[in-house]
Amino acid sequence: MEKEELLRQIADAVVEMEEDTVEELAQQSLTAGIDAYETIDLGLAKGMERAGQLFDEEEYFVPELLMCSDAMNVGIDVLKPHLKSENVSKKGKVVIGVVEGDTHDIGKNLVRLMMETGGFEVLDLGRDIPPAEFVSKAEEYGADIIGIATLMTTTMPGMKEVVDILADKGIRDKFKVIVGGGPISPAFAKKIGADGYARNAADAVKVAEKLLSNTDLALGA
């Protein structure tokens, strides 16, 4: 099988949530001598990107996206030992978590998943995280982006608190803050002084890429 065809089939198998097929094809890619990174990037991640697109278009929902991710991970497990370390370049570092008082982390988990697939290094703080911890962990980790999620209206003020703490400490400019989740709107994001609003997990990757590329432009100018 030609390389392009094999990679396309791997991507398809991820979209179709076929773990066994992904495993088999990943093995085949190694036998065929295809670079493991290329298979991840143009096969597995490509498939996951398409799954994210289907999620965005409301063809796929949370269960489907999670199953695609399981299929992708089966492939990554096969390929990872064969990765050459030099091609592990990352787009940026993200600290992500759900605001204190909220234990719904399905959305946040999806964002982590899509961010990692999209080439970001992600530190997942988990759920029910106090605002100060977002800031201290972001500093420690050297994050470029702080992602804050909530599903509950009641915890929305916690998002503002993160932005306020950053400002108080005089480090607001060091991080891009992206907020998202059920009750959040672009207007709210703007109101609390966040840098970006992500509509869903697929959107979060795009917003993160855009924010970081703008930084580069700003720095270059």
Partner 1 sequence: MDVLSPKERLLRSLKGEAVDRAPVICPGGMMNSAIVDVMKNHGNVLPDGHRDSKMMADLALDVQADTGFENVGIPFCMTVEAEALGSDIDFGTLKCEPKIAKEIFPSLKDVIYKADDALVKSPRAGTVFQAIYNAAGHSPDIPVIGSITGPLSTAASVVDPMNFLKELRKVKDESHRFVDYVTNQLIGYARYMVDNGASVISIADPTATGEILGPRMFGDYAVVYINKLVDAIHEMGVPVIVHICGRMQAVTHHIANLHADAISVDALVSLKKLKEAYPQLTTMGNLSTFLLEFGEEPNIQRGTEQLIQDEINILAPACGLSTSTPLSNIQTFTGAAKAV
Binding map of partner 1 across residues 1-40, x = CB under 8 A, - = no contact:
----------------------------------------
Provide the mask over 53-82, with x wherever binding to partner 1 is found by CB under 8 A and - wherever it is not.
Answer: -----x-xxxxx-xx--x------------
Give exposure, 131-146, as e/b (b: 16+ Cβ within 10 Å).
bebbbebbeebebbbb
Among 40, 145, 151, 162, binds partner 1 (CB under 8 A): 151
For partner 1, the closer of residues 169 and 191 by Cβ is: 191
Determine which residue in the list 41, 128, 133, 164 makes contact with partner 1, applying CB under 8 A. 128
CA–CA distance, 37 with 39 (Å, rounded to integer): 5
For residues 57 and 46, give the distance between their C-alpha atoms in angstroms, rounded to a whole number: 17
* Number of residues located near partner 1, criterion CB under 8 A: 25
Judged by CB under 8 A, does residue 164 bind partner 1?
no
Asked whether position 133 contacts partner 1 by CB under 8 A, the answer is: no
CA distance 108 to 5: 34
Reference 95, options 113, 112, 109, 110; nearest CA is 112
Residue type, 93: K
